[in-house]
Structure 1
């Protein structure tokens, strides 16, 4: 069994991480009725005997008895508030205080401060705490880096850690979940931070899952409109074809370790991202008829090394109280997953070109159901001519808590160049006036060339995806067939 380490950076990364660990514990508790330490748990948790100064118990020795579970997590923030709160909260026993690093002053929403200043200052400490987490793994397969793009710590320190991982663990996959700022983001320098960070993601990551705040807000609103009324609120309706089962929304934390009573304003959005990670790693944690290893995601969905940005969507957003699952409702789950209303980016892959697509299915779904829906959807989806059968399917028998089934789609699609173009335009709007640039160039190690090279990097990604999209309506002619002379 392989293990993965989650590296949480900045306020956003740590808040998502907190939701991830809470929901992961719920999932494992729902399946692991006897409370035994097994291979499933070992993928993201280690078993610790506190009597011997945090001694790790190997799986073969610890199987059958849980002493104390510790998350395979590294917590980093240059503003200690969020991490301190987590270490005092309900999940405090899950985190290892030796695998966290905080400062007090913050990065001031400045990529250069996070990457150039704090990165250099804390390089050895970061290397040590990551090495400590890695030494507790028998077979380390992947690092998951969680951070935002618009602030200073997430974008700056997050991408510094990405570089560190490439240097010190070149054979371990690097998956990045990056939350992009909204157009009306209140951090005026967020376009600078995002574009500067994107150059690092393009060059150093194996796979990036970009998520937009605006898309998350839309999903939360969609869920809230469908949920049943509360004692204090009025019912808000949407036509979902039935009553919504309480506690089944993927934005809810009902019954979790943290629980709804302690929910923070962004927890509903963070839960959606946490569910993305849970669904993507379900095959690594539970049994299924078609398991998809994390290395298969990059192998099947990333045809060109730099074009590793995946568009994600999740369905259903909630479960109806009717426990029966008629085929039409199952088919609707697949249709929804390919609708722009369920994307974690404000984009529409259906009208662009697919390079590849993965379907990660969980719960009581048959292979025949998946095949039927692929055949049903294929005519409306355009795949690039050299990968017309570019589908990867994973099936995990364990459904998310509170739901009977779920579907996560991960698509490498040319539509993403529109999102990057929008971000680039916001960057250029500031940069052509050199607005706020002096806040960056006064940081040791930061040069004006960092701006120009980052702009060139995002332009090249936009161009590469755009060039591929042109093949949607104008595929190259088939290669001439050789004639055999006799």
Structure 2
């Protein structure tokens, strides 16, 4: 059995990570009624019962005493990590795997990347190595961070480069939360573009998620649940409205948004955590969905996003879920893949579904989904028999699609407006190690990325004779 380590950086990264661990524990408790440490648990947790060995891949026949998350928590402010340590999940995290400071990064990528990245380099590497040493077969690092602030963007991408340096053979999947245009952090365009350069260089896969998409989804569900229409009451234990937040007894404004991202992570890791008739290894995602190394931004969409409480409403058919997964309403970035070009696509189904269900729906949807001419069969599929708690099925689609281009162009435009005025630039340039050339290099990297997507878009409907053909695993 393989294991993975989750690295949470910054306030947002730690809040989302905490929701993931909370929901993952609920899932395992729902399935593992006997409370035995088994292979499923060993994928993301280790058993530190002093009377038992870790057990690793083989599992331990004894009853679970102390589960510890395979996690490293980093933040340059203490607030969120302290809340976690005072909350119901405090026993799940090993105190030696936490790293905090008190002053924060001041919404400045350079402070996070340069100042804290240098000051804490050895401690971060030490914690990553210790987490890796507890794994018998380390398959993947998941990095969770936001792009708009200083610690998430700056130190988060510094940690990413350290992961590549220390563990070059281990897959690096990054979940990146992108700020909205109305973000209250004035320097977020600088931070995001500087971070983008690092993500393009050092990640194997990036799952971009827009704050605005999360806000829109949560608002839509709130409107729906308050509409008074029959069958529109949302269950309290559904994906969006989860009851109590993990950090404290009361729901917080961002809990519903963090929950969506946590459920994305639950779905992408389900094959690593549970049995299925068609399990998908995490390193197969990059292998099958990324034909060109830099074009590794995968658009996630998730369904269902809620569960209706009214039992008289017929259960949403599996086929409808596939249609939903390709609709704009269920995507975690604002884009339209159907009018752009697919390089490849992964479908991960949880629940009682058959390979025939996957094939039937792929054949049904294929005519409306424009794929590159050299990879018409570019589908990767996974089936996990264990559905999320409170649902009969769920479906995660990961699309490598040129529709990310407008998001990146909009980000570049916001950056350019600030940079032309040299607004707030002195805050960055006074940081030791930071030079103005970093800004021009980052924009050049982003422009080059946009151009690569643009070039692919221009090939729509035409054969590219020199393009490599992908070998897609079934």
> Which TM-score applies when normalising by structure 2?
0.94
Given that 1:311 and 1:410 are in contact with CA atoms closer than 8 Å, whether structure 2 keeps it comes out as: yes
Given that 1:10 and 1:154 are in contact with CA atoms closer than 8 Å, whether structure 2 keeps it comes out as: yes
Q: Name the SS for the 2:347 alignment partner.
A: strand
Q: Shift of residue 59 of structure 1?
A: 5.4
Aligned to 1:402: 390
Q: Name the SS for the 2:344 alignment partner.
A: strand
Gaps spanning 5+ residues in structure 1: where?
228-234, 480-486
Aligned to 1:289: 277
Q: 1:110-130 deviations in whole A, cap 9, x for unaligned?
A: 000000000000001111111
Q: Shift of residue 63 of structure 1?
A: 2.9
Q: Shift of residue 247 of structure 1?
A: 3.0
Work out the CA distance in 1 between the residues paired with 2:55 and 2:245. 24
Runs of 4+ with >6 A deviation:
322-328
Q: 1:120-171 deviations in whole A, cap 9, x for unaligned?
A: 0000111111111111111111110000000000001000101111111101
Q: Name the SS for the 2:358 alignment partner.
A: helix
Residues 118 and 330 from structure 1, CA distance in 2 versus in 1: closer, same or farther, beyond 3 angstroms? same
Q: Name the SS for the 1:415 alignment partner.
A: helix
Residue 39 (1) aligns with residue 39 (2): yes
Q: Name the SS for the 2:48 alignment partner.
A: strand
Aligned to 1:183: 181
Q: How does 1:80-479 map to 2 (within 5 A)?
A: 80-227=78-225, 235-236=226-227, 242-244=231-233, 246-254=235-243, 258=246, 261-321=249-309, 329-476=317-464
Residues 197 and 130 from structure 1, CA distance in 2 versus in 1: closer, same or farther, beyond 3 angstroms? same
Q: Name the SS for the 2:91 alignment partner.
A: coil
Residue 18 (1) aligns with residue 7 (2): no
Gaps spanning 5+ residues in structure 2: where?
468-474
Which structure has the greater CA radius of gyration?
1
Q: Shift of residue 276 of structure 1?
A: 0.3
Of residues 312-321 and 335-344 in structure 1, the stretch that sits farther from structure 2 once superposed is: 312-321
Given that 2:235 and 2:241 are in contact with CA atoms closer than 8 Å, whether structure 1 keeps it comes out as: no
Residues 253 and 328 from structure 1, CA distance in 2 versus in 1: closer, same or farther, beyond 3 angstroms? closer
> C-alpha root-mean-square deviation of aligned residues, in Å?
2.1
Work out the CA distance in 1 between the residues paired with 2:438 and 2:232. 53
Given that 2:245 and 2:255 are in contact with CA atoms closer than 8 Å, whether structure 1 keeps it comes out as: no
Residues 164 and 350 from structure 1, CA distance in 2 versus in 1: closer, same or farther, beyond 3 angstroms? same
Q: Shift of residue 242 of structure 1?
A: 4.1
Residues 436 and 156 from structure 1, CA distance in 2 versus in 1: closer, same or farther, beyond 3 angstroms? same
Identify which of 69, 73, 79 aligns with 1:75. 73
Q: Name the SS for the 1:150 alignment partner.
A: coil
